[in-house]
């Protein structure tokens, strides 16, 4: 193989779109929950162009003029992580016949990561479809699994009569914010060791008010006449290649610590499935932290099957001087 790296641009974008579509079609044979739309050349090419229009940069690895890998990256500002490098699933694909892409991806990542590191962007978050060969190659590059994206069909389940679930109104946003804070505090505990971040309740109220205005539905669970659980249903997933398009996505979800193990989480998911079915949806998706000892067994036990993963790598700031 003769490795040549080209920029993702108007010359290489259509062939790169073909590669994304071909990889996606192969992946769906094993993981049919992945959205079928990304088997379309047009959809993949448009997604790549949208990344370029948003300021991302992409590189394409070719062999005798034939693309066999594409990788894209941009910089985002996050409320918790600050500035971080974002390598989206829509801009990442490897030829299905390349069984160990470690060397190729190492060369591509070095080219994209170096200017980010020089510019002070040391956290890099990469998303990929659920394929073992990709995960192994990225682990070889120092990326660790952080998030799991899962999808399940919308089918009703029997709810728990001990738990009452209602759709929150604007007047309930203080309760929503309080429960959302419990989730943030839980993710900071071991073994997750998430960022130590206790935002003011007023900020969380504003955040969830914006979600509500944008079409999100907050479900509140009541047990023993107390509001002890929250599940947020957002209109769509922020990761379109890993989750069905125009289908609901489960956002912030939490059960108060003293109410865990009493069916609150199951009742919330049952209510979310019931709501989604009433609205005519066929699929619902979620993401959760892989290190969260409560989330992983819960969501997998609720019937969600992994469609992709978010990987995180932290670069020592001292490398900024040698990345130039």
Residues constituting the chain? 324
Residues 134 and 238 in one domain: no
pLDDT digits (tens, 9 = 90+) for 224-237: 999 999 999 999 99
Does 189 reside within a domain?
A: yes
* Boundary-marking domain end, from 142, 176, 208: 142
Q: Per the structure block, which two tokens stand in for 223?
A: 């047990």
Does 39 reside within a domain?
A: yes
CATH number at residue 70: 3.40.630.30
Residues 185 and 204 in one domain: yes
Residues 169 and 298 in one domain: yes
Task: Using the predicted structure, report yes or no on whether residue 93 has a pLDDT greater than 90.
Answer: yes
Residues 10 and 102 in one domain: yes
Residues 101 and 42 in one domain: yes
Does 104 reside within a domain?
A: yes
* Boundary-marking domain end, from 120, 142, 164: 142
Task: Using the predicted structure, report yes or no on whether residue 126 has a pLDDT greater than 90.
Answer: yes
Residues 213 and 290 in one domain: yes
Does 224 reside within a domain?
A: yes
SS (H, E, C) the chain: CCCEEEECCCCCHHHHHHHHHHHHHHHHHHCCCCCHHHHCHHHHHHHHHHHHHCCCEEEEEEECCEEEEEEEEEEEEECCCEEEEEECHHHCEECCCCCCCHHHHHHHHHHHHHHHHHCCCCEEEEEEECCHHHHHHHHHCCCEEEEEEEEEECCCCCCCCCCEEEECCHHHHHHHHHHHHHHHHHHCCCCCCCCCCCCCHHHHHHHHHHHHHCCCEEEEEEECCEEEEEEEEECCCCCCCCCCCCCCEEEEEEECHHHCCCCHHHHHHHHHHHHHHHCCCCEEEEEEECCCCCHHHHHHHCCCEEEEEEEEEECCHHHHHCCC
Residues 98 and 223 in one domain: no
Task: Return the residue matching tokens 């610590």.
Answer: 257
Does 247 reside within a domain?
A: yes
Quick one: angle between helices 201-213 and 173-187, nearest 10?
Answer: 110
Q: How many domains does the chain have?
A: 2
Residues 163 and 132 in one domain: no
Residues 45 and 11 in one domain: yes
Residues 170 and 298 in one domain: yes
Residues 123 and 92 in one domain: yes
The whole domain housing 193 covers 153-306
The model's confidence at residue 323, banded by pLDDT at 50, 70 and 90, is: low
pTM listed for this prediction: 0.93
Residue 322 confidence (pLDDT): 61
**In the predicted model, what is the mean pLDDT of the chain?**
93
CA 196 remoteness from chain centre: 21
Does 25 reside within a domain?
A: yes
Does 249 reside within a domain?
A: yes
pLDDT digits (tens, 9 = 90+) for 151-205: 999 997 776 578 999 999 999 999 999 999 999 999 889 998 887 778 999 999 9
Between 123 and 82, the more confident residue is 123
For 280-318, b where at least 16 C-beta lie within 10 A, e where not — what string? ebebbbbbbbbbbeebeebbeebebebbbbbbbbebeee
Return the minimum-mean-pLDDT range out of 30-34, 64-68, 147-151: 64-68
Give, in order, the Cα–Cα distances in Å from 61 to each of 23, 48, 87, 206, 235: 15, 15, 16, 44, 36
SS (H, E, C) 87-110: ECHHHCEECCCCCCCHHHHHHHHH
Does 324 reside within a domain?
A: no
Residues 215 and 89 in one domain: no
């Amino acid at each position: 193989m003769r490795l040549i790296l080209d920029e993702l641009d108007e010359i290489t974008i259509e062939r790169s779109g073909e590669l994304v579509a071909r990889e996606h079609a192969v992946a769906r044979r094993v993981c049919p929950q992945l959205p079928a739309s990304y088997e379309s050349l047009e959809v993949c090419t448009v997604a790549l162009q949208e990344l370029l229009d948003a300021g991302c940069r992409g590189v394409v690895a070719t062999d005798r003029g034939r693309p066999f890998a594409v990788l894209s990256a941009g910089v985002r500002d996050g409320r918790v992580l600050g500035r971080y490098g974002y390598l989206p699933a829509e801009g990442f694909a490897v030829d299905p016949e390349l069984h160990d892409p470690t060397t190729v991806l190492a060369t591509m990542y070095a080219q994209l990561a170096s200017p980010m590191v020089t510019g002070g962007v040391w956290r890099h978050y990469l998303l990929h479809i659920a394929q073992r060969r990709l995960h192994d190659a990225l682990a070889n590059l120092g990326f660790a699994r952080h998030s799991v994206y899962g999808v399940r069909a919308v089918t009703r389940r029997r709810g728990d009569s001990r738990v009452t679930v209602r759709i929150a109104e604007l007047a309930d946003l203080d309760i929503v914010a309080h429960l959302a804070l419990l989730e943030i505090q839980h993710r900071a505990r071991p073994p997750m060791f998430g960022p130590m971040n206790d935002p003011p309740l007023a900020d969380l109220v504003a955040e969830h008010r914006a979600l509500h205005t944008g079409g999100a539905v907050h479900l509140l669970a009541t047990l023993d006449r107390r509001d002890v659980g929250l599940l947020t249903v957002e209109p769509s997933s922020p990761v379109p290649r890993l989750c069905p398009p125009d289908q609901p996505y489960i956002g912030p979800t939490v059960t108060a610590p003293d109410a865990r193990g009493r069916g609150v989480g199951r009742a919330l998911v049952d209510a979310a499935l019931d709501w989604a079915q009433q609205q005519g949806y066929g699929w619902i998706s979620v993401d959760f932290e892989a290190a969260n000892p409560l989330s992983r067994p819960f969501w997998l036990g609720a019937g969600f099957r992994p469609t992709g993963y978010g990987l995180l790598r932290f670069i020592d700031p001292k490398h900024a001087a040698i990345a130039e």
